[in-house]
Chains A and B, each alone.
Chain A
Amino acid sequence: MVMPIELFFLLGLLVLGYVAGRFNEKRHYRSIREGESRFRDLLVMNGRRLPPHLLKHQARMVSGNVVISVDYFKVILAALRNLVGGRVTSYESLIDRARREAVLRMQAEARELGAEAVFNLRYETSRISGDATRGVGSMEVLAYGTALIPPQ
């Protein structure tokens, strides 16, 4: 009844998910930190009211979106957590990375336009694949805002 071959597959996927997922997550966090220090001076605010020195700037919408996939280990871990409840820590890092990466991409767009700051930052998020029965597959975060470009 318990097919050993199925268990081997399960174990193999778990190990692959854990090792590859960990490696990818570490690498992603490194690149996020680098990006954040590169864009430290490109101010991002979520308010709508502009400070006086930006009032004459041109406004353009900029956006950044990212899709991040969950690994197999995290899916199983979350599935186990779903049985007993509590914080689904395995998905927390996923959300954190996606949100920060989306802002970075939005900032990259803003810098290409020569913007000094991005105001009125908004986030959207959605599930790209997977459904309610199979748990999260991968998630999208979209960050958008108004880039303020100095007048010529």
Chain B
Amino acid sequence: MTQWPDQNPQFDDRINNPPGSALGEFTRLLLGLGLVTTVAALLLIAAAGRLSPLIPFAWEAQITRNLSFNEADPEALAALETLGRNLAAHAAMDEVIELHFHLLDSNTPNAFATLGGHVMVTRGLIREVESENGLAMVVGHEIAHIHHRDPIRQLGRGAVLSLVWALVTGGTGQTGLEQVLGTGGMLGMLRYSREMEREADALALDLLQAHYGHTNGADEFFLAMQNQLDREARVEFLQTHPLTEDRLTTIGAYGEQAGELQPLPEALARWAEKD
């Protein structure tokens, strides 16, 4: 015979809802997953940096095929090209790599190297340097980035990073990739790692040594930027080119500094001073 109770039992709350620190669980999960994701992302980025240079240069050129430049002054451009090609001739570059030189009509002193072998130099930069040697250091540095395939390596790393970020945040991988492969990734926005910058400087100094027989004037532009009076322009430059001090040290340590400076090609100087 069943015994019928006359009231409902009082259960312990902790049976079906065990006590525990939600915040603690959250922190543990977040840190653990964060660690795993970070390690995985670093491995992937390293792999991308290694594998990206294997992408044929033609593909790179294909991406930047539609870039259009407002080519300012044919004579000035020809002078820059001559300088660039003379320097590049000492670099033993892969013959499939094509260099394209451009003058940008911007007063911000800067120079970039980007996908497809495009090297851009601004009007502001040419105003800052006093000799061809100073300009050659900067152009040589950008040529070195292209020789080392830094733009595509950086693009590969960025793409992987975006992909990981998109996966972690649950977004579609497409938007992240679009961001990197969009115009932002093409023009000057690529930031190279410190190691890449160091290697580019080293090669640029080699090019200067081979071309002029000395490295005098290599520090011209960096010194000018350090003494730049326009604070905004200085900040902008130092943000995209950190470690200016270190670079000056590298240049100073390279070796024989004495040597005759070449004047800037006349066409370039004229273009830079024109309003």
Contacts and interface: CB of A to CB of B under 8 A. Distances in A.
Interface in B1-16: 2, 4-8, 10, 13, 16
**Secondary structure dominating the interface of B:** helix
A2 interface: yes
Nearest to B176: A1
Contacts of A40: 7-8, 10
Contact of A43 (B6, B20, B29, B161): B6
Contact of A1 (B13, B33, B161): B161
Interface stretch (A58-66, A76-84, A124-132): A76-84
Contacts of B2: 49, 51
Interface string A81-98: 101100001101101110
Contact of B25 (A41, A43, A77, A95): A77
A89 B8 contact: no
Contacts of A39: 8
A42 B176 CA distance: 59
Interface in A32-84: 33, 36-37, 39-44, 49, 51, 73-74, 76-77, 80-81, 83-84
A1 B16 contact: no
Contact of B8 (A1, A36, A92, A95): A36
| Band of interface residues on B | 20 to 34
Nearest to B169: A6
B22 A89 contact: yes
**Secondary structure dominating the interface of A:** helix
B23 interface: yes
A89 B7 contact: no
B29 A77 contact: yes
Contact of B4 (A18, A51, A76): A51
Contacts of A42: 8
A84 B29 contact: yes
Given A41-B6, A77-B29, A92-B17, A2 B165 contact: yes
A44 B26 CA distance: 37
A1 B165 contact: yes
A80 B6 CA distance: 45
A45 B22 CA distance: 34
B29 A81 contact: yes
Nearest to A21: B22
Contacts of A36: 8, 10
B16 to A, nearest CB: 4
B179 interface: yes
Given A1-B165, A1-B179, A84-B33, A92 B16 contact: yes
30 contacts: A1-B158, A1-B162, A18-B22, A22-B22, A29-B13, A40-B10, A41-B7, A43-B5, A43-B7, A43-B8, A49-B2, A73-B22, A73-B26, A76-B26, A77-B25, A77-B29, A80-B26, A80-B29, A80-B30, A80-B33, A81-B25, A81-B29, A83-B33, A84-B29, A89-B25, A90-B25, A92-B16, A92-B18, A93-B17, A96-B16
Interface of B: 2, 4-8, 10, 13, 16-18, 20, 22-23, 25-26, 29-30, 32-33, 158, 161-162, 165, 176, 179-180
